[in-house]
């Protein structure tokens, strides 16, 4: 925990080892999981979306315009997460709950690549704002469900979405981000780790 942080280590153990079973801990596997899941998938999604918002939307939650089928598909996946994760947690299947959450994170990464809001910034600002709103709202819902597993890290991301304390409960899951809300400057939450040469040998 001193080397990698409490939240990342907790994530690794809950994701890798089915609850109640014995598990295998390897530093290389830990670093691989943290870099792939936290730094590359989740952290990179949050960082690039919020950085584009900061640059193109005056640092405010963008306006939600007309939704396309692709927009609705991603939002529907995000909206369905609460029930899906609750079902897994009822069985103490924490690893399955995290897998379910990360499937939506993967969907969001594919969506942002397909929609390319950085290109829309030059050709269709209205569409760009809708895409960014969909992504920010997806990140909000994902992060609400990440809280029990990584409370400090999730709190930092919700801070960057300007979600108030009262909006961080599961009861607030279906509330949506309010366009025009001022957001703080985005900052990375999940660093990449490099295996020390001595330990890697």
Q: Which helix (H) or strand (E) holds 48?
A: helix 44-56
Is the predicted pLDDT of residue 198 greater than 70, yes or no? no
CB atoms within 10 A of CB 132: 25
CATH number, domain of 107, equals 1.10.730.10
The answer as to whether 195 is a domain residue is: no
Rounded to two decimals, the pTM is 0.94
pLDDT (average), residues 150-169: 98
Per the model's pLDDT, the better-predicted residue between 201 and 104 turns out to be: 104
Is the predicted pLDDT of residue 196 greater than 80, yes or no? no
What is the extent of the structural domain holding 46?
6-181
pLDDT (average), residues 27-33: 93
Contacts of 10 (CB under 8 A, 6+ apart): 149, 150
Q: Please, which pLDDT band fits residue 197 given cuts at 50, 70 and 90?
A: low
| Separation CA 93–CA 90 (nearest Å) | 8
Contacts of 175 (CB under 8 A, 6+ apart): 167
Angle (CA) 186-192-193 rounded to 5° is: 150
Is the predicted pLDDT of residue 201 greater than 80, yes or no? no
The answer as to whether 192 is a domain residue is: no
The answer as to whether 170 is a domain residue is: yes
Closest C-alpha to 46, from 194, 150, 120? 150
The answer as to whether 193 is a domain residue is: no
Mean of all residue pLDDT scores within the chain: 94
User: Helices marked H in 147-188 — which ranges?
Assistant: 151-160
The answer as to whether 196 is a domain residue is: no
The answer as to whether 164 is a domain residue is: yes
CB atoms within 10 A of CB 195: 14
Q: Please, which pLDDT band fits residue 19 given cuts at 50, 70 and 90?
A: confident
Is the predicted pLDDT of residue 200 greater than 70, yes or no? no
| Separation CA 41–CA 67 (nearest Å) | 24
Closest C-alpha to 128, from 139, 120, 138, 136? 120
Which 8-state DSSP code applies to residue 38?
I
Q: According to the model, what pLDDT value does residue 79 have? A: 98
As for how many domains the chain has, the answer is 1
Q: Please, which pLDDT band fits residue 26 given cuts at 50, 70 and 90?
A: confident
The answer as to whether 186 is a domain residue is: no
The answer as to whether 197 is a domain residue is: no
């Amino acid at each position: 925990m001193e080397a990698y942080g409490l939240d990342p280590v907790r994530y690794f153990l809950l994701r890798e080892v089915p609850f109640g079973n014995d598990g295998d801990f390897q530093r290389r596997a830990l670093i691989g999981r943290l870099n792939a899941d936290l730094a590359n998938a989740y952290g990179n999604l949050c960082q690039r979306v919020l950085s584009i918002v900061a640059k193109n939307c005056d640092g405010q939650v963008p306006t939600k315009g007309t939704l396309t089928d692709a927009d609705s598909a991603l939002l529907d996946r995000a909206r369905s997460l609460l029930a899906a994760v609750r079902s897994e947690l009822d069985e103490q299947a924490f690893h399955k709950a995290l897998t379910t959450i990360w499937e939506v994170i993967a969907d969001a990464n594919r969506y942002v690549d397909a929609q390319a809001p950085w290109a829309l910034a030059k050709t269709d600002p209205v569409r760009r704002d809708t895409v960014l709103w969909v992504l920010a709202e997806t990140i909000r819902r994902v992060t609400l469900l990440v809280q029990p597993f990584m409370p400090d890290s999730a709190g930092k991301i919700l801070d960057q979405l300007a979600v108030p304390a009262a909006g961080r409960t599961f009861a607030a899951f279906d509330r949506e981000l309010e366009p025009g809300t001022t957001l703080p400057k985005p900052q990375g939450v999940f660093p990449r780790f490099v295996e020390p040469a001595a330990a890697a040998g």
